[in-house]
Amino acid sequence: MTIQFSWIKQWYPIIPLNYLDILNPTPITLLGKKLVIWRDKNQNWIVMDDVCPHKLARLSIGSITEDRNLMCRHHGWCFNGQGKCTKIPMLTGTEAEITACNSFRSKITTYPTQVVQELLWVWPDDSPTAFEDCKFKHPATIPECELDVSSTSWQMTEVPVGYTVSVESTFDPSHAEFLHEGIGLFSPKMSVAMEYFESIGEISAEEGFTLKHQGYNLLNKDMEAMRKFTPPCSNTTIYRYSNGKKNIFQLYFIPTQPGHCRYIGKSISNDSAVKRNFLFQILPKDLQTGLGHLSTYKLSDQDLSAMHSQEVNQSSLDKKWQKAYFMPSPSDVGIITFRKWLDEFAGGSPAWQGCVEESIKQLNDGQLYDRWHRHTKHCPSCRNSLIWIEKLQNFSQLCCLIFALLTVVFILTDVNPSLVLISGIIAALSSFLLSKFQDIRQLFLTSLPSKGLPLVKLYK
């Protein structure tokens, strides 16, 4: 008898700690279930249902009180870290308030959490035994190794493509030379046919599977790669090169809701750190991080374009993947192995809570390549970068106006021509910088260009 995988009796990494706000609640969605994250008076991160039992308003739009309870914005009901109602303003100081606060109907379901490797993990099971059950399973963390796993930061995005196609893609390394042509050294001319790509060991419901394969381009053809899928959402990939170089890629694909997936990942290497130029290093730290994040969008836009088109086409076919896909190459072993695990042990797709999968609708470019909802609104560094850029815009605009007026005054008053020239140059330079800052601001919001035709150029 095949042991079936439980989607809710698992640890999920839902957000990096540095993406959380200790002063305000954070909404998340996991397996279709709306949840809210906040920190209580004991400095514990609490995850509970994002719904007030009074009139079902979202608690994530509420606030944290001085005594570190979560207050509903609608009518001021307050809840502690155990989900118990602690205050009902319209019943304050009465026997009725005590009775209402002690009622099971005023209690909110909370979920087990833990912090490991700078990630907040949640166990999304609401059964009475959840807090006991979760103790017998460990999160799928980065394995112990000689590398410093804290040397790089986690990055998180939430994309408008689903869990299945996202995980498929991470076990399909051969697409890189073709889909990502023009980025770095990726090129079809660099590709090498993968002759060795195998699943090693057993495939199981709880332990997942392990893949081993060779390189797929001229630069890494001597590489040995191991890819470990640990259900429900972890891919730990280790690349080892003949020259001693080692890379670890830790990726998580969290099923948020049908047609959407949250990616959390980082890469670690024993290579020497990349040196940045002096001008970049004098920028505010958040702005350095934000500009660094901008450099990753072209590659992820290319991934989104392929995965979304795949989902749309697949949803229009009345065929199982085995009939819809034609996979004659060894390089397809990773996709096939994941699909087999999903079908045999996990019901073919995530077990959505309170929602159902529907046919995938074609998104327009504005929706598919939206950066605000995908990353910027979640990332403190990118949000702060927008604030910095706005300040620079305002300063440039002020300089432009002041020095333009000075230039006119100098001309009318017959001042030294050199002062007119200097003032005019500063006004023109300020105007130029204002335009550039507006362009940079646009990059944090969307992949659509701010000028010209609103077309995303994936390969130019």
Per-residue model confidence (pLDDT) at position 275: 61
Cβ atoms of 342 and 334 closer than 8 Å: no
**DSSP assignment of 360-376:** PPPPPHHHHTBSIIIII
**DSSP assignment of 87-151:** E-GGGTTSHHHHHHHHSGGG---EE-EEEETTEEEE----STTHHHHGGG----PPPP-SS-TTS
Residue 354, burial from CB neighbour count under 10 angstroms (0-12, 13-18, 19+): exposed
Q: How far is CA 174 from the centre of its chain?
A: 23
Q: Domain 12-136 falls in which CATH fold?
A: Rieske Iron-sulfur Protein (2.102.10)
Residues of the chain with pLDDT under 70: 1-2, 272-276
Strands 63-64 and 113-116: unpaired
Per-residue model confidence (pLDDT) at position 2: 66
Cβ atoms of 125 and 25 closer than 8 Å: no
Residues 6+ apart with CB under 8 A from 136: none
pLDDT in tens, 71-105: 999 999 999 999 999 999 999 878 999 999 999 99
3-state secondary structure of 52: coil
* CA–CA distance, 162 with 311 (Å, rounded to integer): 8
Place of tokens 């009074």: 54
3-state secondary structure of 427: helix
Residues 6+ apart with CB under 8 A from 21: 380
* CA–CA distance, 280 with 444 (Å, rounded to integer): 18
Per-residue model confidence (pLDDT) at position 103: 95
Per-residue model confidence (pLDDT) at position 119: 98
| 34, 257, 361 from 355: Cα distances, Å | 11, 8, 16
Max distance between CA atoms of the chain, in angstroms, equals: 95
Residues 6+ apart with CB under 8 A from 425: none
Residue 172 sits at φ, ψ, to 5 deg, of: -130, 70
Per-residue model confidence (pLDDT) at position 24: 95
pTM across the whole model: 0.94
Q: Which helix (H) or strand (E) holds 293?
A: helix 285-294
3-state secondary structure of 160: coil
User: The tokens of 56 are what?
Assistant: 């079902």
* CA–CA distance, 436 with 319 (Å, rounded to integer): 49
Q: Domain 155-269+283-371 falls in which CATH fold?
A: Naphthalene 1,2-dioxygenase Alpha Subunit; Chain A, domain 1 (3.90.380)
